[in-house]
Structure 1
Amino acid sequence: MENKKDKDLSEAHLDKLIHQAWHKPVKPNSKKLWQRIDKSIKAPHHVMWKSIAAILVIALLTVASLSLFNPDNPSVLVEVNNTGKTPKEILLEDGSKVLLNRNSAITYTTENSRMLTLKGEAYFDIKKDENHPFRINTGELHLTVLGTSFNVNAYENSQEILVSLVEGKLKVIANQNQEKNLSPGDELIYNKATKRISLNNFNTNTVLAWKSSLIKCENASLDFLLDRLENYYAIAIKNKADYSNCKISGEFKSDLSLDEIIEIISFSHNIDFVALSEHEYKIEGKMCD
């Protein structure tokens, strides 16, 4: 009697497992497989085959459940680069827009596109979401916004990081626990050498000219233009600081070749750019007073 009782309990336990497995969400082809297996084990005395079938079905459903219904699946890392000569527009999943300057990149995950890393320069038009602030990391600065428009210039080779607020409100925190709240028209300047931040006003036409593939200089230091040449064309100008007192005004198309822009600057300032290697230059000529 005990053997029969144990046998009945064993079958009941297997039936329960199969019933639980059957009611898990699965693909249609998994149901068809179970139906084929079920037809082959209708006879109640085929306990061994029913056991094997139960094990197969439970294994199949477990794999399907792990691959299709696991909420802990790791998110995918997305990196968008702009290696072209003109700005590149990216539309994020939340409706926010990013305009990426040349030789720049953003990185974020599919799980949360409202938290990203920036290398280079980008203009952000962020969709407002009070429950999910938009966060940007440049490596040394951390920006937090709800809904606003602003420009971030954070090229690795530049001595400064510039954050220029066009609309809305923006909070910026530096690695040294310095914190600033920006209002429209404010430009935050972070000096990488001194690790200090300061606020200034900015000229929208000059700062945002790159959105139209232009470089605008309005009585600007020659450093301003040389910095952009280094970042846009991936070059180094060894002694550019010697010419920081030189001023320049004008408008340049950023999709011109490097040789074309160098020729314009050389003619206007009576200086020469001497190539030291394929990506390295120095300037020769009279320095400005």
Structure 2
Amino acid sequence: MNGFHPRSIEDFLKCADFIDWINNPKPNTDKFWEDWCARNPDKINMLQHARELLQGMKLEENNKLDKKERNQILEKLIIENRAYNRRRITEYREKMSRSTSIRIRAVAASVVLIGVLFFGRSLLTEKENTPVHNEISWVTKVVPRGIKKVFTLPDNSVVTVNSGSEFSYSSDFSNDRMVKLKGQAFFEVTSDPKRPFRVVSKDITTMVLGTSFDMKAYDDGSDLHVAVVSGKVEVKTEVGLNSLLTKGEVSFYNPELQAMQKTDYDYEELIGWKDKIIKFDRASYNEVFRVLSNWYDIDFIVDPSLRLRGKYTAKFKDQSLPNVIIGLEHSSNLKFEFQGKQVLVSRKQQNDIK
């Protein structure tokens, strides 16, 4: 099995060890497939799909299939599964739920696959009395500007959420570990090879097993990023771009240009926020004001006649907003004036320069 290199879902469904693991999981086989997934993160989606197909089948206990017959059924299953899209599956389910008792026995075995119908040696049908699907609700956590919060998910994964962010997870999280994110969060994911952890955020989806990483996806036009601290993750975009990341790597994605860049990163600049560190490295002043607005829950009002030019580089560790503003004033030609929950930004006049 160390040489198992599947190219398609069919390869999983023809692998006796994989089928045995799904049907009869044990601690040693769980560990084997967990390690296999860690070595082959690009195959996780394929494995997950194959697992769902196998779990959707039920072989009658009083029937046995030889290897050739089993492979024929599985091959037909895959072909037909690809041929039917979700709309056809829904139509089929509705039709079958209205029908009377239907029983079709195959020569070698009776196979039931929920939601998929294929013709050949075996004809699969849904059971009578289609179960009523429970409606899935979403648990949403909102973190306002100016504060940060830490949450523990049902699987014991820990999420540290940055200011001005929102994330949600479904009431079915025990079966489907999917999280939706708007804003920025740092994830410390509990390993579970049978249930990959997904983070859906704006234009990108991140798939992981057990790892820690930072993800930023604010709705403010700035670039999205996924930065890995440990383990491996796979990042996919809606336009088909993908990137496999390991420790110390980050992918930046620009939704407007639909461009993705993979590189290394400065931990304090991207993730220092959770350790009370603000770090700018040749950042535009608009970016500086955006970060500070979110961090301190305050709005910067820029004089309309002022054209913000140049870049700003600085680092602050657990500093108050007044101290940060003093640093800005000393290193720029800008003047800052506090008015309640606003900071007015204008150009320094001659008498303001000391």
TM range, smaller chain: 0.5 to 0.7
Higher strand share: 1
Task: Tell whether 2:223 aligns with 1:154.
Answer: no
SS at match of 1:147: coil
* Partner of residue 226, structure 2: 163
Q: How big is each residue's C-alpha offset from its partner over 1:23-82, in whole Å with a ceiling of 9 and x where there is no partner?
A: xxxxxxxxxxxxxxxxxxxxxxxxxxxxxxxxxxxxxxxxxxxxxxx9743233211111
Q: 1:228 aligns with which of 291, 312, 324?
A: 291
Aligned pairs for 1:44-55 within 5 A = none
* Partner of residue 80, structure 1: 141
Amino acid at match of 1:220: R
Identity of aligned residues (%): 23
Q: Alpha-carbon deviation of 1:266?
A: 2.0
Aligned pairs for 1:200-211 within 5 A = 200-211=263-274
SS at match of 2:331: helix
* Partner of residue 104, structure 1: 165
Provide the rounded CA distance (Å) in 1 between the counterparts of 2:221 and 2:343. Answer: 15
State the Cα RMSD in Å: 3.1
Q: How big is each residue's C-alpha offset from its partner over 1:197-241, in whole Å with a ceiling of 9 and x where there is no partner?
A: 111210112222111222123x43244533312433364666999
SS at match of 2:328: helix
* Partner of residue 246, structure 1: 311
Structure 2 CA distance for partners of 1:86 and 1:173, relative to 1, 3 Å: same
Structure showing greater Rg:
1
* Partner of residue 22, structure 1: none
* Partner of residue 105, structure 2: none
Q: Alpha-carbon deviation of 1:163?
A: 1.1
Residues 86 and 213 of structure 1 are in contact (CA less than 8 Å); yes or no, is this contact kept in structure 2?
no
Task: Tell whether 2:150 aligns with 1:89.
Answer: yes
What TM-score does the superposition give when structure 1 sets the normalisation length?
0.64
What TM-score does the superposition give when structure 2 sets the normalisation length?
0.53
Provide the rounded CA distance (Å) in 1 between the counterparts of 2:289 and 2:208. Answer: 31
* Partner of residue 144, structure 1: 207
Q: Which runs of 5+ in 1 are unaligned?
A: 1-69
Q: How big is each residue's C-alpha offset from its partner over 1:232-272, in whole Å with a ceiling of 9 and x where there is no partner?
A: 33646669995463232221536x34x55334312332312
Q: 1:271 aligns with which of 334, 348, 352?
A: 334
Q: How big is each residue's C-alpha offset from its partner over 1:103-130, in whole Å with a ceiling of 9 and x where there is no partner?
A: 1111111212620110111000011111
Amino acid at match of 1:196: A
Provide the rounded CA distance (Å) in 1 between the counterparts of 2:314 and 2:271. Answer: 16
Equivalent pairs counted in the alignment come to: 214
Q: 1:284 aligns with which of 337, 344, 347?
A: 347
Residues 142 and 165 of structure 2 are in contact (CA less than 8 Å); yes or no, is this contact kept in structure 1?
yes
More moved, 229-238 vs 244-253? 229-238
Residues 273 and 282 of structure 1 are in contact (CA less than 8 Å); yes or no, is this contact kept in structure 2?
yes
Amino acid at match of 2:247: P
Provide the rounded CA distance (Å) in 2 between the counterparts of 1:208 and 1:214. Answer: 8
Q: Alpha-carbon deviation of 1:177?
A: 0.9
Structure 2 CA distance for partners of 1:234 and 1:175, relative to 1, 3 Å: farther
